[in-house]
Amino acid sequence: MRQAAPRCPVFAQRRAAVEPDERRTGRAIWRPARPVRKRAAREYRIKDRNVNTALSTPIACEPIRPTRIVPSLSEDVARGLFGAPRTLPPKYFYDERGSLLFDRICDVPEYYPTRTESALLQRIAREVIETARPERIVELGSGTSRKTRHLFDACAELECHPAYAPVDVCDEVLVASGEALSEDYPWLDVRPFVGDYTAGLGNLPRRATRDLVVFLGGTIGNFTREQATDFLRELRAMLAPGDTLLLGADRVKEPDVLHAAYNDDAGLTAEFNLNLLRVLNRELGADFDLAAFEHYALFNPLESRIEMHLIAMRDQTVTFEGLHDSLHLREGENILTEISRKFTRAQLESMLEDAGLRVVRHYESDAHKFSLVLAEPD
């Protein structure tokens, strides 16, 4: 029996990728689980204003066909939540609500990465555009593209008019930000792609032109060391001579600063973390009681990473309509929901070099809080 259409394509990707009827008929084996064109939320605050999506130019998202099959949400739950240690990939945070929550986290005083990276990007944007001279900017995990605007401002000043291809799992955020960008930068040709970048980037339409690929926010830190290396190698394979990569990464710093950034007083990071359980309740018919869990984030200096957990506050059994098993959790048991690695300058450069990327310029924020590295294929 077919399940109801999910809200976010990542939840449906694997099921759609192996759609048996289409395999038999030889048609495209990937298709979106529902029409991809959709009006987006109105609550995004983009560039200090609310975006009224009803008034703006409609934007359509194109699905990216995965180059390999990645586990579905139920498979990730079966392996990750029922195994030990209990864990889930962070991509599942980002339904529309999770994306909105992340966007609000970016503005809390304790969460320094966004404003630090933004200030740095503003400072270097002109030099990056002059060096890369892009004909297309591809942004992975673009979210609201709020910092990327510094690159577009520099492009406008330099009369360089690249196309923009944001890639994200959350189509609502792609549509809302695409519409806002089209209004603010009328010259910008925005072509958003919706899909899971961990399922491969090989099917991203290529251009015979210079690409600047940007991966901001320190999202590379949400991968383990092995995942990050594989991802960067795959990215390297996608780049042609003349293409460049701009990678944002958070740096190792005082544990107090890190701890505060992931335990904000307003409780938005806690809400963001708990949102994962809402996603499981909605997508898999689970019955997590959110009040029975607490957000817990700490800096692990041995691994140089923030670890974000959900802790069960009592013994409990969670059932999933879509799965046969029930999940038994004891009071105090934890689910690792995210890691956020913090790098030294040398670690970042060797990670890029190991992936076949040559560092062109390594830009650092004040007090070396955040790095933006411009790299090119070796």
Contact residues toward ligand SAH (CB under 6 A) are: 91, 94, 99, 102, 106, 114, 141-143, 147, 168-170, 173, 196-198, 216-217, 219
**CB-based contacts of 27: which residues, under 8 Å, 6+ apart?**
none
Q: What part of residues 262-301 is at the interface with ligand AVI (CB under 6 A)? A: 262, 269, 272
Nearer to ligand AVI, 200 or 217 (CB): 217
Q: What does 105 interact with, of ligand AVI, ligand SAH, none (CB < 5 to 8 A by kind)? A: ligand AVI
Candidates 202-210, 211-219, 227-235, 359-367; binding stretch for ligand AVI (CB under 6 A):
211-219
- The DSSP annotation for 325-362 comes to -EEEE-TT-EEEEEEEE-B-HHHHHHHHHHTTEEEEEE
- The DSSP annotation for 105-169 comes to HTTSTT-HHHHHHHHHHHHHHHHHHHHH--SEEEEET-TT-TTTHHHHHHHHHHT---EEEEEES
- Write down the least CB distance from residue 103 to ligand SAH, Å: 8
- Write down the least CB distance from residue 312 to ligand SAH, Å: 25
Q: What is the rounded distance in angstroms from the CA atom of residue 366 to the CA atom of residue 371?
A: 10
Using CB under 6 A, which of 218, 247, 286, 335 touches ligand AVI? 218
Candidates 63-71, 176-184, 217-225, 344-352; binding stretch for ligand AVI (CB under 6 A):
217-225
Helix (H, G, I), strand (E, B) or coil at 307: strand
Q: What does 142 interact with, of ligand SAH, ligand AVI, none (CB < 5 to 8 A by kind)? A: ligand SAH
Q: What is the rounded distance in angstroms from the CA atom of residue 97 to the CA atom of residue 193?
A: 19
- Write down the least CB distance from residue 216 to ligand AVI, Å: 9
Q: What part of residues 105-134 is at the interface with ligand AVI (CB under 6 A)? A: 105, 113
Q: What is the rounded distance in angstroms from the CA atom of residue 102 to the CA atom of residue 42?
A: 16
Nearer to ligand SAH, 173 or 190 (CB): 173
Query: Does 98 sit near ligand AVI (CB under 6 A)?
Result: no
Helix (H, G, I), strand (E, B) or coil at 373: strand
- The β-bridge partners of 305 are 300, 341
Query: Does 338 sit near ligand AVI (CB under 6 A)?
Result: yes
Query: Does 222 sit near ligand AVI (CB under 6 A)?
Result: yes
- Write down the least CB distance from residue 222 to ligand AVI, Å: 5
Q: What does 170 interact with, of ligand SAH, ligand AVI, none (CB < 5 to 8 A by kind)? A: ligand SAH
Q: Provide the sign of the torsion angle of the four alpha carbons 202, 71, 89, 44, taken in this order.
A: positive
Q: Percentage helix, strand, coil, to 5, in the chain?
A: 40, 25, 40
Judged by the rule CB under 6 A, the positions of this chain that interact with ligand AVI are 105, 113, 217-219, 221-222, 262, 269, 272, 338, 340
